[in-house]
Structure 1
């Protein structure tokens, strides 16, 4: 079997290496446009700050070492420009000589990845305008920072790469601002209220996010001096363009392969509409594991898993790649975030009857040094109680919460399935009732009617119709009545039994306990503000 793999880095090299292990007799050749066959793209932001010290540490393999380890033939600096499906050949240009070469295949794997979006605005050719896609990009930015040329930087794009670059530049004492045209950072990844919480935490750490703000022009004589936005001009010594990526599939426009917004559509064997042509990595769509619909997942994890799955199918094994959940984690300035499954809006769009909850829980035993908190949002099917999604933010191990939720969602677990699971516990690692399990219990209380709560969206819409009641350990809200749980042993003075009461405490737990007691004393319309003052900092800021 003669197999041509177009592209390297993650998906292409994984597919080729795994197929060679499965079938040592397969004739496999990688054709790649770049000179680096395999590098750690996800590590680029951390090289900029020096967390990853040496550029060579980003290079997983040289073409020579890859060939020796895998037995796969590699041709670098070779750009495939055409696919002839009928003749089963690809046409490529040798970028060093300009010669046009033709390669025959029995099976073709397209793993051409994606490239940074380049905005059509003046000033992008100025010195100190950077992208972040290759080790060379990261190296140029790092050298400029270490030369002392950058004191202020504007990052255009509030996605993963932009925010991770922001964190790493801030660690080098660069004053960083992030702009994004979307209403919130990480659009589509987090629900708006969680994104808003993260934006506030970034601001606390010195990274200012200006959302709803578009790039208009990069100004300067020879190098960046200002970045003109739809709001105002911002002084800057550098501008990092991280406005998303676009699939590298233009050379396939006449090949008759089905695409969506430039990404190749694939089935659960990673085949395109041509069964002899596979597509993996950032140039391809996969499947959303919950909805069954096509989803673009330009993640290193997806590239590797899909590349491996495609190779196994090529080797004749019966595989069915079920797809992705939109899982991701990120270390940002002052906070870490994680998410998997459907956001609340995505779940509604998919037709699920949705219930959600936001809660603030300890990340480990509260008495253990370094203990902090997690903000967790759970999304579930109101009728079946199936877990559909989880979002979290905190300083602790957000990846552990995400991975537990990945497992649960993949197994179609209900909240009840998670309620009594035997999770690991010791004070340095967790709480006696696991943080995610704690969140599950809160959502079950809400679904079962034991907790009547108000979400952030509901608070924004109808919070003014309720009388705020301070239910904290000690009075914390000026101008509002205070109820002390410890002395609440009957009707609360000054609060009407049929009055609309919004109970607020630091995290939400104590307000729930007050609500439970007030219900016992005949109060009919109480709500607990989800996340309390930890999540709704505006309550204390207005004092």
Structure 2
């Protein structure tokens, strides 16, 4: 059997590795249009900020590794078209410009995503950049050394992390977002306010509720950012406005969401049984709402790629869905979040209750301790846990994983209130702060 994998970042790399580990004799061909694979784009901010010194450490696999496992790896090869009826694809060698036709028995679509591009003027100016792949990271790093002022457009995870990275480089930093709070998809206002205060305390210029409508330049380089409220001078702009799935190759051939994300079942099969898909090109099953959503996270891509490796010949292992769990460290604040925010629950018309609670993570008799700000979002009627947020100077982010597991297994507030957690004064209190959060919810 011949398997062709189109695209090889997180999902494609993990699919290839696990297919070949499970089926060493399988004929696996990989087509990747870039000159690298498995790049951890979440490390761009760490590289820019100097936390990671060697950018090669941001790759966790290589064409050589896949070749050693038995894959036929073709770098700098772009798939131009796919015909699922004839199970064939047209490929272009980007080095020689040669085009040829290949065939498959099973197709794995892991083409990923691309930054959302706004319809505004000035995008072609020098020093207006996107942040997605290895070459973007290198360009951002190079350009940043040549300017004193940087504007980041988009206050999601990538944007906020880049703000800190540029600050660590000694740059003046301006963060602009059309919404009225930072990290709006992940945090409710009580938590976003804390982050915003920290950004301002660090000297970051914050412009929320302003939409960028264009860029102006001098001598071909960006010089000002135009928003719905005013103009701002700058030397470099990085756009961090989210991502869109790159799935045009299968448009009209498999079922997709309106945004182009490919719909897959619990075995990562598309509406065509011989075509699999994973990663940023696909939907995920979002457990808190029990529907399909587009949540382009590396964790989702890696899990889905692994599942393709299990299910490529026959259905064996099911996808358990996702809670969209994520973590962030920004200017000394550790943040963990999972499931629905209160605002998202209202948007989906899900009746919820919420509890906000703050307590020390360990006993006061210890030499030091830190406050933990927590929020629990749960079903108004059956008390099923649907979401949670945590913030502290102490690293409590693993507790977001605990809440994620609670959501996945449909645990209730009552379950969490008396759940068994260890006690050791170095690490926590006789009642863990998650117990106390749930107990407060029951008392309200």
Q: If the TM-score is normalised by the length of the shorter chain, which range does it land in?
A: over 0.9
Query: Counterpart in 1 of 2:34?
Result: 34
In 2 relative to 1, CA 226–352 (structure 1 residues): closer, same or farther, beyond 3 Å?
A: closer
Does structure 2 conserve the Cα–Cα contact (< 8 Å) formed by 1:15 and 1:308? Answer: yes
**Using the alignment, how far apart are the partners of 1:108 and 1:205 within structure 2?**
49
Query: Counterpart in 1 of 2:362?
Result: 364
> 2:307 is paired with a residue of what secondary structure?
helix
Mean Cα displacement is larger for which, 278-287 or 231-240? 231-240
> 1:224 is paired with a residue of what secondary structure?
strand
Structure 1 residue 101 and structure 2 residue 118: aligned?
no
In 2 relative to 1, CA 169–364 (structure 1 residues): closer, same or farther, beyond 3 Å?
A: farther
Give, in angstroms, the shift of residue 72 of structure 1.
Answer: 1.5
Q: Which has the higher contact order (CA 8 A, sep 6+)?
A: 2
**Using the alignment, how far apart are the partners of 1:421 and 1:320 within structure 2?**
27
Query: Counterpart in 2 of 1:483?
Result: none
> 1:282 is paired with a residue of what secondary structure?
helix
Give, in angstroms, the shift of residue 353 of structure 1.
Answer: 3.3
> 1:418 is paired with a residue of what secondary structure?
helix
Query: Counterpart in 2 of 1:530?
Result: none
Query: Counterpart in 2 of 1:534?
Result: none
**Using the alignment, how far apart are the partners of 1:20 and 1:426 within structure 2?**
44
In 2 relative to 1, CA 428–141 (structure 1 residues): closer, same or farther, beyond 3 Å?
A: farther
Structure 1 unaligned segments of length 5 or more: list them: 447-543
Query: Counterpart in 2 of 1:124?
Result: 123
**Using the alignment, how far apart are the partners of 2:364 and 2:32 within structure 1?**
52
**Using the alignment, how far apart are the partners of 1:90 and 1:212 within structure 2?**
45
**Using the alignment, how far apart are the partners of 2:275 and 2:255 within structure 1?**
9
Give, in angstroms, the shift of residue 349 of structure 1.
Answer: 4.8
Query: Counterpart in 1 of 2:398?
Result: 400
> 1:86 is paired with a residue of what secondary structure?
coil
Structure 2 unaligned segments of length 5 or more: list them: none
Query: Counterpart in 2 of 1:233?
Result: 231
CA RMSD of aligned residues (A): 1.8
In 2 relative to 1, CA 21–255 (structure 1 residues): closer, same or farther, beyond 3 Å?
A: same
Query: Counterpart in 2 of 1:20?
Result: 20
Deviation by residue 1:29-51 (Cα, 9 ceiling, x = unmatched): 11111110222221111011111
**Using the alignment, how far apart are the partners of 1:65 and 1:279 within structure 2?**
22
Does structure 1 conserve the Cα–Cα contact (< 8 Å) formed by 2:13 and 2:61? Answer: no
**Using the alignment, how far apart are the partners of 1:113 and 1:367 within structure 2?**
50
**Using the alignment, how far apart are the partners of 2:38 and 2:398 within structure 1?**
28
Across the two proteins, how many residue pairs are aligned to each other? 443
Query: Counterpart in 2 of 1:540?
Result: none
TM-score, reference length from structure 2: 0.95
**Using the alignment, how far apart are the partners of 1:325 and 1:33 within structure 2?**
31
Structure 1 residue 212 and structure 2 residue 209: aligned?
yes
Does structure 2 conserve the Cα–Cα contact (< 8 Å) formed by 1:34 and 1:76? Answer: yes
In 2 relative to 1, CA 350–124 (structure 1 residues): closer, same or farther, beyond 3 Å?
A: closer
**Using the alignment, how far apart are the partners of 1:369 and 1:131 within structure 2?**
45
Deviation by residue 1:48-71 (Cα, 9 ceiling, x = unmatched): 111110121112233123311x22
**Using the alignment, how far apart are the partners of 1:208 and 1:436 within structure 2?**
35
Query: Counterpart in 1 of 2:259?
Result: 261
Does structure 2 conserve the Cα–Cα contact (< 8 Å) formed by 1:267 and 1:286? Answer: no
Mean Cα displacement is larger for which, 367-376 or 338-347? 367-376
